[in-house]
């Protein structure tokens, strides 16, 4: 039996909002049970609850049977291993004979020719067939199915009928699906998830009738004045594909070349799993009307999930044709992963040009250009940003850091004196940067109010030599620099770090990781070993070593280093660990507004809206006219603040942001089911336009 006792499950977006409220019920695990949920969000929460992915906030879930992971989506498949090796691993985990499992999978899926091919290289339909066959080849008391019972491949379906018949004779099935025909045909008991219980029916038709009634009750009332775009967004959010198809058909009848219709047909193709056609259609919609934002947002969302490198390059090239800062930023990050350093630097130059006065994006663009070796471009960006905001000490230090690579000593002395005069708290950091760049002669000396300079012979900065050698993977040059550094200081962090880089280039990840950790422990101020450690953590497959790397990264007091640990945790860590990591990042972010924005956004995404609001509120005390931060704070507080507080926030947004941001705030209020608040915003902030025009 699967027993649920007063189970409450919170939303991932808002901890104050519950999806399942006091759910109680008993599901037999020795029958073929179908579960119908009227809401897509409820269905996902219920599936995560059964598999143990999400734990109830209140209540208990008792499993008195051995329940499988979702059929066709089992965890533990290693992409670099062959299909045969993955079968052997699964067999050992379940203590069964590997040979029999390999024969079963190869026969049922008809994939003998692919058994010795790495999983990442097999076609998508073969990979799906393999996952389903492997799931049913492992012995369980109850098989859990989230979606289709079998993959939609004709040859595989024919062979699969007998397998399902055999398994259902000895094991139970729990099927969570929105496919009414599948539930009616296969299940002998059907459950409908209601407000606080699961109603079980032996008559499938009665259960389906109750399910359809629940669906009708959950449909929101559509205001007659609701705009087309609002209807589309609501349909996409609820994944109401029938409504999306109806809107697309209507738009196509009015205009066969309608960008809206083309974009919606692309969304429909993506919902069916046809990524190639979906991407092609969305690109067509972007090209048909470059000023229409929604297809560009969809294309950026698709790019985040894309795994194919060639298609990722295509998406990046299309996104770079857009002039919006946040779209270009997404494209630049993709080009960093797939393109050359020159291409990445050019992309970040375009991001900086589009950012204009957005200090957070300018800092990120300048920092990325500095990493790519474009010190002069980075310096120009920081100089322009500092001229617009002379109170930002971090911009001055970043300008000084970038000019260390190419400027003469007089210019550097001027900047150092300016730092000492205006931001004395940053003076020590400036000295460390000069020492690290082997420019100790750059000292601001107060002599009657004018800075003097100690003359010395100029030579190429050590970081430039190291960066060039790492970029070219020049082991000989790295070994020469490392040897010189170790002779100068046997326990110096730079030499140990370079020996670790050499080991990594040669493929010895274990030895390289140990040396990088030693370098981090030797000098916590030297950033480069920490960055390498962050890169190792992102690429690490071993959970034990990943935990070790993340723990080491979290001992660093710099926000940018802790960010590396948080990013490395996201693909595999549990929600609590990820939240704890981003809390630690926010704690040390200080006045780094770009980092504060990212930490607040991640906390909001993972359901800690109130904590994100506190972080953003503190940052606004530093830069109270930051429009992006105000908008993100508004999104966070929509989940828990009262209308008066939200109206005050929108008033601040209206003072500093573009008029389009007020429209966005009104749409967000409507999406949060706060229609009255949206009307008040329209009356207060949108009525000014006619009077301004007449004036």
Question: CB within 8 A of 559, min separation 6: which ones?
Answer: 585, 588, 589, 590, 592, 595, 599
CB 586 within 8 A of CB 615: yes
∠ at Cα 632 (628, 636), nearest 5°?
Answer: 170
CA distance linking residue 478 with residue 456, whole number of Å: 26
Residue 427 has pLDDT above 70, yes or no: no
Residue 445: pLDDT above 50? no
The DSSP secondary-structure symbol of 555 reads T
The confidence score (pLDDT) of residue 438 equals 57
Q: What is the pLDDT of residue 18?
A: 64
More confident of the two residues 81 and 382: 81
- Structural domain includes residue 504: yes
Q: Would you say residue 209 has pLDDT above 60?
A: yes
Each residue of 296-353: pLDDT tens digit? Answer: 888 887 877 776 777 777 888 888 887 777 778 778 877 777 777 777 788 888 888 8
Total structural domains within the chain: 4
My answer on whether 296 and 389 are in the same domain is no
- Say if residue 387 is in the same domain as residue 309: no
Contact (Cβ atoms closer than 8 angstroms) between residue 382 and residue 374:
no
Tally Cβ neighbours within 10 Å of residue 546. 21
Please state whether 658 falls in left (phi above 0), alpha (psi between -120 and 50) or beta. beta
Residues 593 and 553 in one domain: no
* Residue 171, H or E segment: none
Beta strands at 58-63 and 32-37: parallel, antiparallel or unpaired: unpaired
Q: How far is CA 643 from the centre of its chain?
A: 30
Residue 449 has pLDDT above 70, yes or no: no
Question: How many C-beta neighbours within 10 Å does residue 354 have?
Answer: 18
DSSP code at position 20: E
List CB contacts of 416: < 8 A, sequence separation 6 or more.
400, 427, 430, 434, 442, 443, 444, 451
Average pLDDT, the chain: 78
Backbone angles phi, psi at 174, to 5 degrees: -120, 115
Collapsed DSSP state (helix, strand, coil) of residue 556: coil
pLDDT by residue (tens digit) across 211-265? 877 776 665 544 433 467 877 888 887 777 888 888 888 788 767 788 888 999 9
Query: pLDDT tens across 555-613, in order?
Result: 877 777 888 888 887 776 777 778 888 888 888 887 778 888 888 888 888 888 888 88
Whole-angstrom distance, CA of residue 442 vs CA of residue 453 = 7
Supply the pTM of this predicted model.
0.37
Residue 448 has pLDDT above 50, yes or no: no
Query: 4: phi > 0 → left, psi -120 to 50 → alpha, else beta; which?
Result: beta
Please say if the pLDDT value at position 24 is more than 70. Answer: yes
| Contact in structure between 486 and 473 (CB atoms under 8 Å) | no
Banded pLDDT at 694 (limits 50, 70, 90): very low
And the tokens for 227?
């705009």
Q: Is residue 334 part of a domain?
A: yes
Confidence of residue 157 (pLDDT cuts 50, 70, 90): low
For 51, 517, 611, the CA distances from 15, given in Å and listed in that order, are 21, 37, 11
Sorted by sequence, the CB contacts under 8 Å of residue 35 that are 6+ apart come out as 27, 46, 174, 175, 176, 177, 190, 191, 192, 193, 198
Q: Of the ranges 415-424, 455-464, 654-663, which one carries the lowest mean pLDDT score? A: 455-464
Q: Tell me, what's the pLDDT at 484? A: 85
Looking at the DSSP bridge assignments, the partners of residue 514 are none
Helix (H/G/I), strand (E/B), else coil: 15: coil
CA atoms of 553 and 229, how far apart (whole Å): 44
Distance of alpha carbon 47 from alpha carbon 35, whole angstroms: 10
Last residue of a domain, one of 550, 573, 596: 573
Q: Is residue 21 part of a domain?
A: no
Long-range contacts of 541-550 (CB under 8 A, 24+ apart): 541/78, 543/572, 545/513, 546/572, 549/513, 549/517, 550/581
- Host domain of residue 431: 373-458
| Sign of torsion over alpha carbons 642, 643, 648, 651 | positive
Q: Which of 527, 525, 598 is nearest to 567 (CA)?
A: 598
With respect to residue 310, please indicate whether it lies within any of the assigned structural domains: yes
Q: Which of 439, 458, 477 is at the close of a domain?
A: 458
What does the alpha-carbon distance between residue 618 and residue 612 come to, in Å, rounded to a whole number? 10
**What six digits make up the tokens of 634?**
């508004």
Q: Distance (Å, rounded) from C-alpha 190 to C-alpha 298?
A: 36
For every residue of 241-281, which 3-state class applies, written as one string?
HHHHHHHHHHHHHHCCCCHHHHHHHHHHHHHCCCHHHHHHH
**Does 317 map to a domain?**
yes
Q: What is the mean pLDDT of residues 189-198?
A: 82
At residue 454, the 3 state secondary structure works out as coil
- Please state, in angstroms and as integers, the Cα–Cα distance from residue 313 to each residue in 238, 266, 276, 338, following that order: 31, 19, 14, 7
Q: Are 293 and 312 members of one domain?
A: yes
Residue 487, domain member (yes or no): yes
Question: Residue 667: exposed, middle, or buried by beta-carbon count in 10 A (0-12, 13-18, 19+)?
Answer: middle
Given a cut of 60, is residue 58 above it in pLDDT?
yes
Run of H or E residues at 146: strand 142-146
Which tokens belong to 226?
């609701």
- CATH code (residue 644): 1.25.40.10
189-193 and 32-37 beta bridge pairing: parallel
Question: With pLDDT > 90 as the criterion, what percentage of the chain qualifies?
Answer: 2
CA 472 to chain centre: 30
Q: Is the domain of 561 the same as that of 589? A: no
> What is the side-by-side order of every strand in the sheet holding 18-27?
18-27, 2-10, 58-63
Whether residues 239 and 302 share a domain: the answer is: yes
Contacts of 60 (CB under 8 A, 6+ apart): 3, 4, 5, 6, 7
Helix, coil or strand: residue 191: strand
Query: Residue 452's pLDDT band (boundaries 50, 70, 90)?
Result: very low
Cross-strand partners of 34:
175, 190
Percent of the chain past pLDDT 70, that is, above it, reads 87
Q: Are residues 473 and 514 in the same domain?
A: yes
Out of 458, 486, 505, a domain closes at: 458
Phi, psi for residue 5 in degrees, rounded to 5: -120, 105
Phi, psi of 686, deg, nearest 5 = -95, -10
Instruction: Tell me if 270 sits within 8 A of 239, measured CB to CB.
Output: no
Helix ranges (H only) for 307-392 are 309-319, 325-338, 341-355, 359-371, 375-388
CA atoms within 13 Å, Cβ hemisphere of 675: 7
Q: Using CA atoms, how far apart are residues 502 and 521, in angstroms rounded to an integer?
A: 19
Residue 414 has pLDDT above 50, yes or no: yes
Instruction: Count the helix, strand and coil residues of the chain and give each as a percent rounded to the nearest 5.
Output: 65, 10, 25
At residue 442 the predicted structure's pLDDT band, cuts being 50, 70 and 90, is low
pLDDT of 695 above 50: no
Count other C-beta atoms under 10 Å from residue 266's C-beta: 26
pLDDT value at position 117? Answer: 87
pLDDT of residue 217: 64
Query: Domain check: are 552 and 517 in the same one?
Result: yes
Together in a domain, 609 and 549: no
Return phi, psi of residue 408, to 5°.
-80, 170
Task: Look at residues 117, 94, 115 and name the one whose alpha carbon lies nearest to residue 104.
Answer: 115
Both 410 and 487 in one domain: the answer is no
Return the pLDDT at 446: 38
Burial of 644 (0-12, 13-18, 19+ CB in 10 A): exposed
The two beta strands, 172-176 and 445-447, are: unpaired
- Tokens 């704890």, residue located: 580
In the prediction, which pLDDT does 216 show?
66
Asked whether residue 248 is domain-assigned, the answer is yes
Residues 478, 449 share a domain? no
Residues 454 and 540 reside in one and the same domain = no
pLDDT tens-digit readout, 610-650? 888 888 888 888 778 788 888 888 888 888 888 888 888 88
Residue 54 within a domain: no
Q: How confident is the model at residue 431 (pLDDT cuts 50, 70, 90)?
A: low
Task: Pick left, alpha or beta for residue 449 (phi over 0 → left; psi -120 to 50 → alpha; otherwise beta).
Answer: left
């Amino acid at each position: 039996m699967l027993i649920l006792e007063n189970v409450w499950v919170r939303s991932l977006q808002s901890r104050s909002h519950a999806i399942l409220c006091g759910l109680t019920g008993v599901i037999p695990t020795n029958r073929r049970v179908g579960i119908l949920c009227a809401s897509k969000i409820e269905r996902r929460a219920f599936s995560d609850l059964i598999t143990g992915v999400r734990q109830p906030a209140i209540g208990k879930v008792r499993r008195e049977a051995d329940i499988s992971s979702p059929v066709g989506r089992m965890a533990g498949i290693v992409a670099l291993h062959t299909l045969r090796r993955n079968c052997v691993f699964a067999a050992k985990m379940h203590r069964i004979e590997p040979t029999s499992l390999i024969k079963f999978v190869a026969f049922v899926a008809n994939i003998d020719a692919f058994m010795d091919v790495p999983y990442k290289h097999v076609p998508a339909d073969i990979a799906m067939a393999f996952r389903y066959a492997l799931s049913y080849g492992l012995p369980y008391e109850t098989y859990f199915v989230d979606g289709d019972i079998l993959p939609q491949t004709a040859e595989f379906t024919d062979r699969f009928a007998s397998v399902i018949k055999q398994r259902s004779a000895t094991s139970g099935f729990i099927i969570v699906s929105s496919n009414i025909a599948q539930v009616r045909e296969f299940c002998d008991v059907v459950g409908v998830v209601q407000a606080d219980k699961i109603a079980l029916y032996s008559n499938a038709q009665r259960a389906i009738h109750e399910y359809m009634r629940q669906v009708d009750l959950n449909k929101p009332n559509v205001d007659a004045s609701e705009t087309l775009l609002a209807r589309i967004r609501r349909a996409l959010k609820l994944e109401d594909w029938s409504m999306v198809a109806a809107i697309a058909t209507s738009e196509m009848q009015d205009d066969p070349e309608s960008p809206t219709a083309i974009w919606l047909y692309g969304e429909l193709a993506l919902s069916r799993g046809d990524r190639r056609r979906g991407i092609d259609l969305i690109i067509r919609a972007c090209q048909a009307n470059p000023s229409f934002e929604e297809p560009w947002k969809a294309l950026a969302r698709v790019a985040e999930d894309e795994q194919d490198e060639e298609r990722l390059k295509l998406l990046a090239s299309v996104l770079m044709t857009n002039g919006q800062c946040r779209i270009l930023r997404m494209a630049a990050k993709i080009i960093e992963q797939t393109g050359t350093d020159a291409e990445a630097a050019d992309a970040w130059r375009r991001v900086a040009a589009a950012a204009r006065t957005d200090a957070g994006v300018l800092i990120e663009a300048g920092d990325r250009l500095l990493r790519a070796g474009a010190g002069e471009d980075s310096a120009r960006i920081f100089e322009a940003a500092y001229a617009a905001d002379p109170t930002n000490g971090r911009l001055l230090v970043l300008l000084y850091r970038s000019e260390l690579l190419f400027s003469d000593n007089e210019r550097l002395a001027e900047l150092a004196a300016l730092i000492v005069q205006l931001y004395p708290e940053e003076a020590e950091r400036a000295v460390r940067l000069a020492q690290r760049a082997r420019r100790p002669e750059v000292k601001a000396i107060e002599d009657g109010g004018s800075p003097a300079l100690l003359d010395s012979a100029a030579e190429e900065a050590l970081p430039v030599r190291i960066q060039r050698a790492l970029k070219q993977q020049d082991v000989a040059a790295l070994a020469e620099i490392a040897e010189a550094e170790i002779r100068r200081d046997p326990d110096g962090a730079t030499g140990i770090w370079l020996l670790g880089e050499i080991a990594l280039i040669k493929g010895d990840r274990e030895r390289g990781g140990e040396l990088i950790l030693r370098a981090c422990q030797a000098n916590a101020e030297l950033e480069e070993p920490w960055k390498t450690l962050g890169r190792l953590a992102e690429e690490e497959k071993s959970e034990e070593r990943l935990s070790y790397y993340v723990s080491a990264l979290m001992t660093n007091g710099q926000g940018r280093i802790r960010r590396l640990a948080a990013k490395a945790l996201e693909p595999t860590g549990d929600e609590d660990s990820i939240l704890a990591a981003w809390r630690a990042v926010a704690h040390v972010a200080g006045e780094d507004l770009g980092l504060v924005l990212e930490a607040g956004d991640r906390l909001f995404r993972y359901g800690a809206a109130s904590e994100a609001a506190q972080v953003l509120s503190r940052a606004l005390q530093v830069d109270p006219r930051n429009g992006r931060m105000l908008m993100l704070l508004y999104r966070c507080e929509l989940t828990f603040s009262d209308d008066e507080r939200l109206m005050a926030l929108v008033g601040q947004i209206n003072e500093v942001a573009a008029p389009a941001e007020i429209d966005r705030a009104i749409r967000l209020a409507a999406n949060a089911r706060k229609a009255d608040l949206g009307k008040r915003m329209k009356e207060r902030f949108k009525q000014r336009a006619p009077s301004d025009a007449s004036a």
